[in-house]
Amino acid sequence: MTQLSLTKHHGLGNDFLVVFHPHVGDLPALARRLCDRRRGVGADGLLVGESEEGYAARMTLYNADGSRAEMSGNGIRCFAQALAARRGDLHPQRILTDAGDRVVTLSATDDPAVIHAAVDMGEVAPLGEPADWHRLGTDPMRPVAHLSLGNPHSVVGVDDVAGVDLLTLGGIVPYVNLEIVEPGPEPHAITMRVHERGAGITEACGTGACASAWAAHQWGLVVPHDEEILVHMDGGDARVRMHHPSPGRVTLIGPAQFIADITVDI
Question: Is the pLDDT score of 254 beyond 80?
Answer: yes
Q: Taking all residues of the chain, what is their mean pLDDT, rounded to a whole number?
A: 96
Q: Are 136 and 111 found together in one domain?
A: no
| 19, 35 contact by CB (below 8 A) | no
Q: Are 22 and 139 found together in one domain?
A: no
Q: Are 73 and 132 found together in one domain?
A: no
Amino acid type, 14:
N
Peptide bond between residue 112 and the one before it cis (omega within 30 degrees of 0): no
Question: Is the pLDDT score of 24 beyond 90?
Answer: no
| 123, 247 contact by CB (below 8 A) | no
- pLDDT for the residue numbered 93: 98
Longest dimension (CA), the chain: 58
- pLDDT for the residue numbered 145: 97
Q: Are 165 and 195 found together in one domain?
A: yes
Q: What is the pLDDT of residues 143-185, one digit of tens each?
A: 999 999 999 999 999 999 999 999 999 999 999 999 999 999 9
Q: Are 220 and 258 found together in one domain?
A: no
pTM higher than 0.85: yes
Q: Are 214 and 171 found together in one domain?
A: yes
Q: What is the pLDDT of residues 105-153, one digit of tens each?
A: 999 999 999 999 999 999 999 999 999 999 998 888 899 999 999 999 9
The domain in which residue 85 lies consists of 3-121+254-265
Rounded mean pLDDT of 255-261? 98
Q: What is the pLDDT of residues 28-87, one digit of tens each?
A: 999 999 999 999 999 999 999 999 999 999 999 999 999 999 999 999 999 999 999 999
Distance of CA 158 to the CA centre of its chain: 21
- pLDDT for the residue numbered 133: 95
CA dist list (Å): 197 to 94, 175, 206, 207: 25, 5, 13, 12
- pLDDT for the residue numbered 251: 98
Q: Are 140 and 163 found together in one domain?
A: yes
Question: Is the pLDDT score of 196 beyond 80?
Answer: yes
Q: Are 189 and 206 found together in one domain?
A: yes
Q: Are 202 and 116 found together in one domain?
A: no
Q: Are 227 and 202 found together in one domain?
A: yes
Q: How many domains does the chain have?
A: 2
- pLDDT for the residue numbered 249: 94
Which CATH number is 38's domain given?
3.10.310.10
Strands, E assignment, 135-188: 144-148, 152-157, 177-183
Contacts of 2 (CB under 8 A, 6+ apart): 265, 266
Q: Are 115 and 145 found together in one domain?
A: no
Please compute Rg for the chain using Cα positions: 18
- Alpha carbon distance 225, 207 (integer Å): 20
Q: Are 158 and 237 found together in one domain?
A: yes
> Three-class SS of residue 36?
coil
Rounded mean pLDDT of 242-259? 95
